[in-house]
Amino acid sequence: MATAPAGPRADLDLNEYRRLLEEERNRLTAELEAIHSQDETGGTAGELSELSDYDQHMADQGTELFLREQDQAIYIGLKTSLDQVEEALRKLDNGTYGYCDRCGMEIIKERLEVLPFALYCIRCADEMESRF
């Protein structure tokens, strides 16, 4: 059973974490935009479902397809990280930052220092084989 968080973590410098997370969000957004602007056909990097359609059209163009798949993997990686960062910012807003999304326990400070966008405690992350 998840326990309800007691309130914003008093032992964390939440303003500092917000600054780190906003920085990270800006960095990820810029990288996503960079990938998008490299896309000469325009627009296909916007939605993942469109990307897979696009792949089928590109199937006979070996090298370009390879690059596109790499771009796609990078894009998905960046998008996933951005989602994590935005979720962490939401948790800062609603006072649940620093609490595990799964079990509700406090996430230790040392972990948040390394992964400010961690949403789970180490134990839950291990059990779910998620880094966050």
| Residues in contact with Zn ion by the rule CB under 5 A | 100, 102-103, 121, 124
CB of 37 to Zn ion, least distance (A): 39
CB of 47 to Zn ion, least distance (A): 32
Tell me how far apart the alpha carbons of residues 70 and 73 are, in angstroms, rounded to a whole number.
5
Tell me how far apart the alpha carbons of residues 117 and 17 are, in angstroms, rounded to a whole number.
9
CB 74 within 8 A of CB 46: no
CB of 127 to Zn ion, least distance (A): 8
CB 3 within 8 A of CB 105: yes
Select from 96, 89, 102, 92 the least CA-distant residue to 130: 102
Pick the closer one to Zn ion by CB: 58 or 103: 103
Pick the closer one to Zn ion by CB: 89 or 103: 103
CB 21 within 8 A of CB 117: yes
> What letter would DSSP give residue 58?
T
CB of 112 to Zn ion, least distance (A): 13
Pick the closer one to Zn ion by CB: 51 or 116: 116
Pick the closer one to Zn ion by CB: 65 or 115: 115
